A and B are shown apart, each in its own frame.
Chain A
Amino acid sequence: MIKVTVWNECRHEKEDADVQEVYPETIGGCIVNNLAPYGFDLTLATLDDPEQGWPAERIEQTEVAIWWGHRYHDEPSDALIDKLQARVLAGMGLIVLHSGHHAKLFKRLMGTSCNLSWREAEGGERERVWCLKPSHPIAYNIPPQIELPQSEMYGEPFDIPEPDELIFNSWYQGGEVLRSGCTFQRGRGRIFFFSPGHETFPIYRNRHIIQILANAIQWAHQPHQSGWMLGNWGRPVPLEEGAPKQTYFKKPRKLMLAEKAAKKTEK
């Protein structure tokens, strides 16, 4: 059973009545409830939980993380982001939703501003999510296009590195378009960015959107743990016989300084 942590900032749900109305169980709670039939081992975590929802054991055990954040992107500590980034590089899958495009973790992993254009029209506007790669595992059982009657416009230019794969592209009623479902590989970790999911529209109640999340979890789950873990790999002894090898090894700095100091004292 894949261990999934659904991390939700969960402040809108405390601060905004309109969000409480749409997601009385919280955004994360809605995602967890709707993913439950798919048979994942789901844990819900929030920014206000101890250790900002990421105790060391959870970081270590999570196989795929889902990230929804918006108003408080600056609050997760840099130390936490360091650990999560390292965990992604070591193979944890990461699914970043909607306004998570500006999350510290996503920006760190992308290395760009991740800025895009946006419009929060009163009552939202229509979005069509077009499936561009129907044979991709994330597109399993997904129709050619999904119509979301109310959505927040997220448009290009979206300042991300060239995605490894573009699975979905969104068109909005206002005419803008966005690369709305993109995959990236960082180290051994698989990352999927998926833009639909504004806090005041019931997008996470749409069965196709939930199917996409379930598919993405399966896809992002590390396929295996064999092979090199992409550490910094000193290879002092070459494979080819007779090729030059490393014969001298630098001492740790502390030891080197201590030995130098001792020699000085001797003199």
Chain B
Amino acid sequence: MSDHALFHVEADATAVPVEQASYAALSYAGLLAGYTTVDSALKQPLFQRYLTHLLEHEFALSAAETTTLCQQLDIAGQQLAELSANGSTRWLPAIVKRLDQQLEQGQSIESLCFTLAAWLRFSMGFDGKGDPLTVTDPLAEVFMQVRLTYWDHIDELVAQYLQGTPLFSSLAAQPLFVARLSYWLSYILANGLVTAMQTLLLEVQDYSAAPRLAGGKV
């Protein structure tokens, strides 16, 4: 498959699902970590590893395909704030669809859940310091009400987020999904985005002997 057939990176809804997922992964986590552009987030080894894991392990892209996509996403100056708008209709459906597939096949959903958790955390409308974040989304009002009403208990909060939109209709009844989404949202709330992402990468790291034996970077 040629790279061009796979990817035609445009930051709109005509992007193929894997691009949409990449925008979802970069924009909300990037903004919560304090970055303003795609290229500034992609320069960080932590974000590179996160996106690589999402694409290779949960979207089954090859290493070469991932590299090509990352290079194409790495457009200088592309604003994360613009990308973040209307995520529930532009980017998140690709994540939800992939979650359905991964759950059906019994495959890992950690990075996918983390991406969704970062979006939910972003939709709360404040950053780690308590400064306001601009949330532009058809679900913004609903999610804000959920946050204001159910903040006191993480399980209630997550349950209400899942009931607040048909986007999650297929997933809301999946206990594993609910548990992992709640887990990553808890981690982001407790530690901030960056430490939570470090934790994600620690948990999904391949601890078998294979990488070292194959001469891989440890």
Binding site for B on A (CB under 8 A): 224-229, 231-237, 245-249, 251-256, 258
Contact = CB atoms under 8 A, between A and B. Distances in A.
Contacts of B195: 231-234
Given A231-B198, A233-B191, A234-B191, A246 B186 contact: yes
Nearest to A225: B218
B130 A255 contact: yes
A171 to B, nearest CB: 41
Contacts of A232: 191, 195
Contacts of B152: 247-248
Nearest to A259: B148
A32 B153 CA distance: 59
A234 B130 contact: no
Contact of B205 (A226, A247, A251, A258): A226
Contact of A247 (B128, B153, B202): B153
A252 B128 contact: yes
Given A233-B191, A234-B191, A249-B190, A227 B202 contact: yes
A225 B129 CA distance: 28
Given A231-B198, A247-B154, A254 B190 contact: no
B187 A236 contact: yes
A263 B117 CA distance: 28
B189 interface: yes
Nearest to A255: B130
Contacts of A247: 152-155
Contacts of B151: 251
Chain A interface helix/strand/loop/mixed: loop
B183 interface: yes
B129 A254 contact: yes
Interface residues of B, number: 24
Contacts of A248: 152-154
Interface in B125-164: 126-131, 151-155
6 contacts: A226-B205, A226-B218, A237-B183, A247-B155, A249-B189, A256-B130
Contacts of A229: 198
A254 B187 contact: no
B129 A252 contact: yes
Q: Quick one: which of A227, A234, A253 has the most chain B CB within 10 A?
A: A234
A227 to B, nearest CB: 7
B79 interface: no
Contacts of A236: 154, 186-187, 189-190
B154 A254 contact: no
Given A233-B195, A233-B199, A247-B154, A252 B126 contact: yes
Contacts of B127: 252
B175 to A, nearest CB: 12
A135 to B, nearest CB: 24
Contacts of B128: 252
Nearest to B188: A249
Nearest to B194: A231
Contacts of B205: 226
A232 B191 CA distance: 8
A139 B54 CA distance: 45
Nearest to B211: A226
A258 B202 CA distance: 35
A112 to B, nearest CB: 31
B189 A253 contact: no
Contact of B154 (A227, A249, A253, A256): A249
B13 to A, nearest CB: 32
A249 B186 contact: yes
Nearest to B190: A234
Nearest to A248: B152
Contacts of A254: 129-131
A228 B126 CA distance: 27
Contacts of A237: 182-183, 186-187
Contacts of A253: 130
Given A237-B183, A258-B130, A224 B189 contact: no
A140 to B, nearest CB: 23
Contacts of B190: 234-236, 246, 249
